[in-house]
Amino acid sequence: MQTDVLKLDPEHPQPESIAQAAALLRAGEVVAFPTETVYGLGAIATNADAVARIFAAKGRPSTDPLIVHIADIEQIEAVTGDPWFTYAPAIRHLGETYWPGPLTLVLPRGRAIPPGVTAGLATVGVRMPRHPVALALIAATGAPIAAPSANTFGHTSPTTAQHVLDDLGGRIPLILDGGPCPVGIESTILDVTGDDPVLLRPGGIPVEDLELVLGVAIRRLPPRAIAAGLPAAAPGMLLSHYAPRAPLVVFEGRQPEAVWERVVADIQRRAAIGAQVGALAPVERAAELRAAGAAVVVELGPAADLAAAARTLFAGLRALDDAGVSVIIVASFPGEGLALALRDRLRRAAGGQIEKV
């Protein structure tokens, strides 16, 4: 299959290109498109055959549920069966504060959504993305769009059209190219089906922000419970995910200076035995790591700018793979806010191989 790539103006997407993509979706095909978090691989969520093509193209196990995307808050009824005004005030407050944006709410699934979309679960993740291309595509299609990240299963998430092409070229008919994704890591997933909200995946909106809006503490699933594979609570939250091709070694610790000392020593040791070491690091550390012997250092922006790190993390891992490094070294992100999501992605990308400092 030939994969076409259509370049779009990310702020004012060309209506002809959107119409072309919407026609493919309505014909039961899959289309890759940019969202503010990562690129998604979409199909009409009410079409079971089209959704099956998503799983086939990605090599994704059928046990891993998809998120359904809407363009308008009233469209939630098409996904859950319940009109928006019937939801609890706290849920409406979340949706009205953070949609469109990188928040996914897990809600009871409506009958119009085939069980295959949600791995048979009685719940469904819903999100209204804020990328103009995603919103225009959903609106033009006139249906909710099921979409996982547009990478091969288990690989690093795609934040450019080229990343999608590298993974899925020849397997899907069309990629809408809206440039690099402005957030760069996936949505925050909050399960609001129980009495208390539960954070299923940290992401683009810090959980502390959600707590401020809700006025209650949000339970975090402990990383170890997620790693052990809690059956229904956190499907798809595999320990090995987002992985680059080269082995990734993540250094974690509360004392930044001690962590950097270990990183430098590790790079020196590996370079001395001939390894092609790649590293991800804030700009302030890049020169030091090059001096230690790192062959390639991808800069994540200033250390204090976690949003910049989120924007560059996945692209950085892919760039190091492309550069052919034999190992990737990175110091994790201590603290709160976006750091929680960055730590989560690094731990999974490393398959749980964490060096504690």
Query: Segment 107-166, which members bind Mg ion (CB under 5 A)?
Result: 149
Give yes or no for residue 160 binding ligand TXA (CB under 6 A).
Answer: no
Size of the site for ligand TXA (CB under 6 A): 30
- Contacts by residues 258-263 (CB-CB < 8 Å, ≥ 24 positions apart): 258/357, 259/331, 259/332, 259/357, 260/285, 260/288, 260/331, 262/355, 262/357, 263/289, 263/329, 263/330, 263/331
What is the 8-class DSSP label of residue 117?
G
Among 46, 123, 156, 312, binds ligand TXA (CB under 6 A): 123
Q: How far apart are the first and last CA of the chain?
A: 48
Q: What whole-number distance in Å separates Cα of residue 186 and Cα of residue 311?
A: 11
Give yes or no for residue 121 binding ligand TXA (CB under 6 A).
Answer: yes
Smallest distance, ligand TXA to C-beta of residue 169, A: 18
Query: Segment 293-332, which members bind ligand TXA (CB under 6 A)?
Result: none
Among 40, 95, 202, 351, binds ligand TXA (CB under 6 A): 40
Between the alpha carbon of residue 232 and those of residues 55, 59, 64, 120, 136, the distances in Å are 19, 21, 10, 10, 33
Strands 145-146 and 296-299 come out as unpaired
Q: Which does 342 bind (CB under 5 to 8 A by kind): ligand TXA, Mg ion, none?
A: none
Region from 20-28, 235-243, 281-289, 319-327 binding ligand TXA, contact rule CB under 6 A:
235-243
Element (H, E) at 90: helix 89-98
Q: Which two tokens stand for residue 166?
A: 């590298």
Query: Segment 194-233, which members bind ligand TXA (CB under 6 A)?
Result: 200-201
Region from 18-26, 84-92, 115-123, 216-224 binding ligand TXA, contact rule CB under 6 A:
115-123
Give yes or no for residue 148 binding ligand TXA (CB under 6 A).
Answer: yes
Smallest distance, Mg ion to C-beta of residue 62, A: 15
115 phi and psi angles, rounded to 5 deg: -55, -30
The burial of 15, by beta-carbon neighbours within 10 Å (0-12 exposed, 13-18 middle, 19 or more buried), is given as exposed
Is 157 in contact with 174 (CB distance < 8 Å)?
Answer: no
104 - beta bridge partners? 189
Q: Which does 67 bind (CB under 5 to 8 A by kind): Mg ion, ligand TXA, none?
A: ligand TXA
Element (H, E) at 58: helix 48-58
Question: Binding mask 128-147 vs ligand TXA (x if CB under 6 A, - otherwise)?
Answer: -x-----------------x
Question: Binding mask 54-93 vs ligand TXA (x if CB under 6 A, - otherwise)?
Answer: ----------xxxx--------------------------
Among 22, 25, 29, 35, binds ligand TXA (CB under 6 A): 35
Smallest distance, ligand TXA to C-beta of residue 240, A: 13
Q: What whole-number distance in Å separates Cα of residue 333 and Cα of residue 21?
A: 38
Smallest distance, ligand TXA to C-beta of residue 29, A: 17
Q: Which residues bind Mg ion (CB under 5 A)?
A: 149
Q: Which residues bind ligand TXA (CB under 6 A)?
A: 35, 37-38, 40, 64-67, 102, 104, 106, 118, 121, 123-125, 127, 129, 147-149, 186-187, 189, 200-201, 234-237
